[in-house]
Amino acid sequence: MSRAFNFSAGPAALPESVLVQVRDELLEWKGERASVMEVSHRGQAFIDCAAEAERDLRELMGVPEDYAVLFLQGGASLQFSMVPMNLLSAQASADYIVTGAWSQKAVKEAKRVGGVKIAASTEGENFARIPRQEELKLDPNAAYVHYTTNNTIFGTEFHYIPDVGSVPLVADTSSDMFSGPMDVSKFGLIYAGAQKNLAPAGLTLVIVRDDLLKRTPSSLPTMLQYGVHVENKSMYNTPPTYAVYIAGLVFEWLLAQGGVKAIEKKNIAKAALLYDYLDTTEFYRAPARKIDRSRMNVRFHLHDESLDSEFLVGAKAAGMDQLKGHRAVGGMRASIYNAMPREGVEALVAFMEEFRRRHA
């Protein structure tokens, strides 16, 4: 058996060359005569490894000097809480743009901490689209504006950065970070669970502008304070060393591909291949509004849902795995993150067309 094209939404496919290097270094890493998993995070080898990962990340995303990069744990879901706990007070309120299930979860946690105003929501349209800038009802006194750059479940993506004036912009970029360039200077804080487009599960990335660190109430538990992690270079406690190591290899891989600009080109082409095919047939339908379509998570439904399981079984037999849509929306979802080669998308389109012909 060989490896399938893996369309999982997360934990998702990693670049094969990275996995090969991980395998080759599994028992003895960097002359340590031990696995990277078995050495101290306080040792020079790992300190160097984490520092290099941060350097490469900064280079890839053009992170300005006045931003800290953190390697944390707890997933994007803990950031739903850490963001308001650090940046919002009980008397203040924050604006939330609601474009899917993850935005809703972020709102739920923020409400435990302080006020929340919904700047826009597309729930009434089953989250099939992204609100336009003109639709955003922004409070100039908001503590921050929070939004989800890519809606992993609903298959929509912001193709613009909301203009929020001088209010800090906070983004959950779990499923599209590193898929293309991003002007970090437009944000107050960016976070992402690593398991979609970067590394194995267990690592959470946070990029936060220095001035926001002053807002944290001193009563907050130590582990929840961004400032503590900044001061300790993400080593206040034991970081997820194995995941940081792999993230570092993925950064190297991204740089070798020509950086995020080059990767974006490939991602646009991969997504176009699939959407262009979907647009040629009524046999399949893609619910996301065209201009808001995600380049990372392509959601589609078979016109006849009774064929769903046959489609999935057939795809698996043809070497394509994990195409089942999220349980909240059903249908299919092809997650085509950075690590998905173009050949995987070509194989999927060929299979879909062959399946359609068989059932037309």
Ligand X SMILES: *Cc1c(COP(=O)(O)O)cnc(C)c1O
Active site residue ranges: 102, 172, 196
Q: What are phi and psi of 304, to 5 degrees?
A: -105, 100
Nearer to ligand X, 156 or 175 (CB): 175
Nearer to ligand X, 69 or 203 (CB): 203
- Least distance to ligand X, CB of residue 97, Å: 13
Pick from 97, 130, 103: nearest CA to 292: 130
- Least distance to ligand X, CB of residue 94, Å: 17
* H or E stretch covering 85: helix 75-87
Which of helix, strand or coil describes residue 319? coil
Name the residues that contact ligand X, by CB under 6 A. 10, 75-77, 102, 148, 152, 172, 174-175, 193, 196
Token pair of 33 as six digits: 């005569």
- Least distance to ligand X, CB of residue 150, Å: 6
Instruction: Count the neighbouring beta carbons within 10 Å of the beta carbon of residue 70.
Output: 18
Nearer to ligand X, 155 or 311 (CB): 155
> What are the residues whose beta carbons fall under 8 Å from the beta carbon of 82, sequence distance 6 or more?
74, 224, 226
Pick from 295, 5, 11, 21: nearest CA to 178: 295
Nearer to ligand X, 241 or 297 (CB): 297
Nearer to ligand X, 50 or 199 (CB): 199
In the block, residue with structure tokens 């990767």: 263
- Least distance to ligand X, CB of residue 103, Å: 8
> Helix 101-111 crosses helix 75-87 at what angle (to 10 degrees)?
40
- Least distance to ligand X, CB of residue 188, Å: 18
In the block, residue with structure tokens 């057939």: 314
- Give the angle subtended at the CA of 296 by the CAs of 291 and 302, to the nearest 5°: 75
In 3-state terms, the chain is what percent helix, strand and coil (to 5)? 40, 15, 40
